[in-house]
Amino acid sequence: MSHKRAQFGTKLGVIAATVGSAVGLGNIWRFPYECGTNGGGAFLLVYIAFVFLLGIPTICAEFALGRHSRKGMPGSFRIASCNKRWDFLGYGAILAAFMILSFYSVVGGWTLDYIFDSCTGLFKQIPNSDRHQQFMNFVSGWRAVAWAIVFLIINFVVMVRGVQKGIEKVSNVMTPLLFVILIVFCVNSLFMPGAAKGLTFLFKPDFSKVTTDVVLRALGQAFFSLSLGMGCLVTYSSYFSDNTPLIKTAFQIGILDTLVAILAGVVIFPAVFTYGMQPAEGPTLVFEVLPNIFHDMPGGNIWSFLFFLLLALASLTSIISVSEVVVAFLCDEFKITRKRAAIIVTAVTCVTATLCSLSFGPLKSLNLFNLFDYISANILMTLGGLGICVFVGWRMKSEHFEQQMRLNSHVPGWLFSYIAGCIRYVCPVGIFIVFIAGLL
Ligand code: TRP
């Protein structure tokens, strides 16, 4: 079966889909909780440094590989190097994709439940002091499992509709709207009594808190948030037209994504201190803090409905991009239809997501949720990013790389040297050191 490979329809569509992939629960749920457990300001500083030094160059590397080969994982390595020796990187990516799909859909399910609760007015009824217990009861039960499965089914529907009709349409509208509503919430948080404390926590670095583990987690968070290290952007860029300027797009993604994460921090931390909560609460942090805000806000139910709707949609555009890695892999390698590939992905993840969700209740001792979260972001993705940079920097023909970087865009010499230098030297060495130090 040979058919023309799908492509994104418009320039806006490319930005919306890639930024839509990057912006998601990673920014609004994962960033505040990682920042909170790893010391605040210092974490943010290391995080930003990693975005520019390692993140944006790795985005460029993924783009060059994807658009040059016009294949996803692991086919792109095979085409660019003419042999199968690099396939293992692709299989690592597929494994990471399944782990991410599993815990991501659980959190996606939480957002769906919160949309529902906003409609019934639950946040207004329950006093803030009962919030923690209420949330723990919810996440440990079957209701959370059911929502995770609903989330996966919605993902399935978009997956089947394909690149232009599915991914692009949803992303175009949602990503800009989320941005606007986040700014409204930031302003609201800035007027809270705990604003000063919250902002100090987020922006004032305390370097005594920086351990090698914190540095590894900042790198993992940067890669997770930018959708890096598992071929997601390789797969998306295989659908780019030749008109897309790759370096410019990479900077747009990096900057917008970081901005959203910082905005989320500005919303959350003032509220954490206002309501006397702990920033180091962990994965449930955001879901316990936000309802307090809505409880005390005029028109809280409407705001919370809007917020969680947009968050759910932002997570949908992200989880679609993770699924797309596996779907493209199954379609390219086994020549099956999109629909069949989507069924396989959904069936497997329904099972693994159930196990992750029950990690908050009956399967606490196994704690697959935290395990998948940690292994995928901090191990598989950082190693995947390392592999991709080494491959693009040293194995892919440098004319091919340069051609992709400069195609239809004016790139000044210094900028090209910066990106190429980072991919060849800074990323491989930097990621390797952070990884080893963090593990020890
Ligand atoms: N970046 C997304 C977020 O911040 C999550 C995501 C989408 C992702 N695609 C990915 C993470 C690929 C790792 C790899 O929510």
| pLDDT (tens digit per residue) in 180-203 | 899 999 999 999 999 999 999 999
What mean pLDDT is reported for the chain?
93
- In this prediction, residues 237-241 reach a mean pLDDT of 92
Q: Provide the pLDDT for residue 370.
A: 95
In our burial notation (b when 16+ CB lie closer than 10 A, e otherwise), range 309-322 reads bbbbbbbbbbbbbb
Residue 121 is encoded by which pair of tokens? 């007015």
The candidate with the shortest Cα–Cα distance to 235, out of 4, 19, 391, 18, is 18
Does the beta carbon of 225 lie inside 6 Å of ligand 1? yes
- pLDDT over 60 (residue 172): yes
- Indicate the angle between helix axes 87-120 and 338-357, nearest 10 degrees: 70
Ligand 1 binding pocket mutation candidate from 47, 167, 224, 349 (most atoms within 8 A of CB): 224
21 CA distance to ligand 1 centroid (A)?
6
296 CA distance to ligand 1 centroid (A)?
32
- pLDDT over 80 (residue 48): yes
> Would you place residue 166 in the very low, low, confident or very high pLDDT band (cuts 50, 70, 90)?
low
Q: Is the peptide bond before 74 cis (omega within 30 degrees of 0)?
A: yes
Does the beta carbon of 26 lie inside 6 Å of ligand 1? yes
Q: Provide the pLDDT for residue 164.
A: 61
pLDDT in tens, 403-429: 999 999 999 999 999 999 999 999 999
Does the beta carbon of 230 lie inside 6 Å of ligand 1? yes
- Indicate the angle between helix axes 338-357 and 300-334, nearest 10 degrees: 130
In our burial notation (b when 16+ CB lie closer than 10 A, e otherwise), range 281-301 reads bebbbbbbbbbbbbbbbeebb
Which residues touch 41 (CB under 8 Å, ≥6 apart)? 200, 201, 202, 203, 204, 205, 206
- In this prediction, residues 356-369 reach a mean pLDDT of 95
24 CA distance to ligand 1 centroid (A)?
7
> Would you place residue 1 in the very low, low, confident or very high pLDDT band (cuts 50, 70, 90)?
very low
Does the beta carbon of 227 lie inside 6 Å of ligand 1? yes
53 CA distance to ligand 1 centroid (A)?
19
Amino acid (1-letter code) at residue 13 = G
| Contact predicate 6/324, CB 8 Å | no
Q: Provide the pLDDT for residue 173.
A: 77
Residue 78 is encoded by which pair of tokens? 């095979």
Q: 3-class DSSP state for residue 8?
A: coil
Q: Provide the pLDDT for residue 189.
A: 96
Index of the ligand 1 atom closest to the CA of residue 25: 15
Residue 376 CA to its chain's centroid (Å)? 12
- pLDDT over 80 (residue 325): yes
- pLDDT over 60 (residue 159): yes
Burial group, residue 162, by CB count within 10 angstroms (0-12, 13-18, 19+): middle
- In this prediction, residues 94-121 reach a mean pLDDT of 96
- In this prediction, residues 9-15 reach a mean pLDDT of 77
- pLDDT over 90 (residue 175): no
Does the beta carbon of 258 lie inside 6 Å of ligand 1? no
- In this prediction, residues 271-294 reach a mean pLDDT of 94
Q: Please name the helix (run of DSSP H) or strand (run of DSSP E) that holds residue 437, with its range, or none.
A: helix 427-439
Q: Provide the pLDDT for residue 349.
A: 98
Nearest CA to ligand 1 atom 12: 227
* Angle at the Cα of 19 from the Cα atoms of 155 and 199, rounded to 5 degrees: 110
Amino acid (1-letter code) at residue 86 = W
> Would you place residue 438 in the very low, low, confident or very high pLDDT band (cuts 50, 70, 90)?
confident
Residue 333 is encoded by which pair of tokens? 């390698």
Sequence-ordered alpha helix ranges (H) in 87-211: 87-120, 122-125, 131-139, 142-161, 169-190, 195-203
Does the beta carbon of 103 lie inside 6 Å of ligand 1? no
- pLDDT above 90: percentage of residues in the chain: 81
> Would you place residue 158 in the very low, low, confident or very high pLDDT band (cuts 50, 70, 90)?
confident
Ligand 1 binding pocket mutation candidate from 98, 100, 325, 381 (most atoms within 8 A of CB): 100
CA pseudo-torsion sign 366, 367, 373, 379: negative
Q: How many angstroms separate the CA atoms of 107 and 112, rounded?
A: 9
Range of weakest confidence among 10-24, 52-66, 365-379? 10-24
The candidate with the shortest Cα–Cα distance to 257, out of 64, 75, 15, 11, is 15
Q: Provide the pLDDT for residue 3.
A: 53
Does the beta carbon of 22 lie inside 6 Å of ligand 1? yes
Q: Provide the pLDDT for residue 68.
A: 97
- In this prediction, residues 16-35 reach a mean pLDDT of 93
373 phi and psi, to 5 degrees? -60, -50
> Would you place residue 377 in the very low, low, confident or very high pLDDT band (cuts 50, 70, 90)?
very high
118 CA distance to ligand 1 centroid (A)?
26
pLDDT in tens, 49-103: 999 999 999 999 999 999 999 998 999 999 999 989 999 999 999 999 999 999 9
Question: Token match 């399935």: residue?
Answer: 156
Q: How many angstroms separate the CA atoms of 421 and 424, rounded?
A: 5
